[in-house]
């Protein structure tokens, strides 16, 4: 039975390509996934780490409490001045004006479905892109949280794509180290868990086997 996605909880979320097929082929694929991730997920969750690999991805996020998630107005969403972010929640125009709150688990499903349709069209393929149900495990302690961040960022090293975490462009590691504005990552909250950016960097340089042993019950690949 799958773990429920509930308000206020922290989760490690993972999925891979159907039959382990690639889900990212070109740079534009990675960029598009991140762009629509911001559209669908930022309203319902805070993200602390992400990693996109050729045939799978990892996410670490906290589902916002219900009172942190705002209502959306269909009249605004369907107006000429509405941006893409709000149109994503109200894809069909309607004369009826109503308010709704996005549902976290549905937003995750909408994200994966939207990316699948885009990827299939772009790469001339049909059928399921992802395995049927995305994996999720609840994260319940600060120790697991910090070790899981390092595990996610070190995933490209684990799979021998690069020799050093800093050399792989499709994780949140570089974003957290940067000072550039971002809406994808709750940078300050991540750094606060490590006290300083220097501790954050040093923590990632520890042995991957040491960190992996500490969170073996949270690893889902």
Q: Where are the domains of the chain?
A: 10-67+103-218
**pLDDT at residue 97 in the model:** 47
0.75 exceeded by the pTM? Answer: yes
Identify any residues that bridge with 16 across adjacent strands, giving them in sequence order: 56
Residues 6 or more apart whose CB falls under 8 angstroms from that of 85 comprise 38, 39, 43
Cα-Cα end-to-end distance for the chain: 17
Cα 194 to chain centroid distance, Å, stands at: 21
Q: Which fold has domain 10-67+103-218?
A: Alpha-Beta Plaits (3.30.70)
* Predicted pLDDT of residue 216: 59
> In the prediction, which pLDDT does 30 show?
97
Cβ partners under 8 Å of residue 199, min gap 6:
none
Which residues of the chain are modeled with pLDDT < 70? Answer: 72-99, 207-221
Rounded CA-CA distance 12/139 in Å is: 7
**pLDDT at 213 (0 to 100):** 60
Cα 77 to the chain's mean position, in Å? 24
Give the separation between CA 61 and CA 47, rounded to whole angstroms: 4
């Amino acid at each position: 039975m799958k773990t429920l996605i509930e308000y206020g909880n922290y989760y490690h979320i993972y999925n891979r390509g159907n039959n382990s097929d690639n889900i990212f082929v070109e740079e534009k694929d990675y960029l598009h996934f991140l762009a629509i991730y911001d559209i669908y997920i930022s309203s319902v969750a805070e993200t602390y780490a992400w990693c996109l690999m050729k045939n799978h991805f990892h996410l670490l996020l906290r589902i916002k409490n219900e009172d942190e998630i705002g209502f959306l107005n269909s009249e605004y969403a369907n107006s000429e001045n509405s941006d893409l972010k709000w149109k994503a929640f109200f894809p069909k125009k309607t004369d009826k004006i109503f308010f709704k709150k996005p549902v976290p688990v549905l937003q995750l499903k909408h994200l994966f479905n939207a990316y699948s349709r885009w990827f299939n069209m772009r790469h001339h393929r049909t059928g399921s892109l992802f395995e049927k149900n995305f994996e999720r495990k609840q994260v319940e302690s600060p120790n697991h949280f910090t070790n899981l961040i390092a595990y996610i960022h070190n995933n490209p090293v684990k799979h021998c794509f690069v020799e050093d975490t800093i050399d792989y462009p499709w994780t949140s590691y570089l974003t957290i180290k940067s000072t550039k504005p971002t809406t994808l990552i709750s940078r300050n909250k991540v750094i606060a868990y490590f006290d300083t950016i220097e501790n954050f960097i040093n923590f990632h340089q520890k042995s991957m086997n040491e960190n992996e042993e500490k969170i073996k019950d949270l690893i889902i690949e």
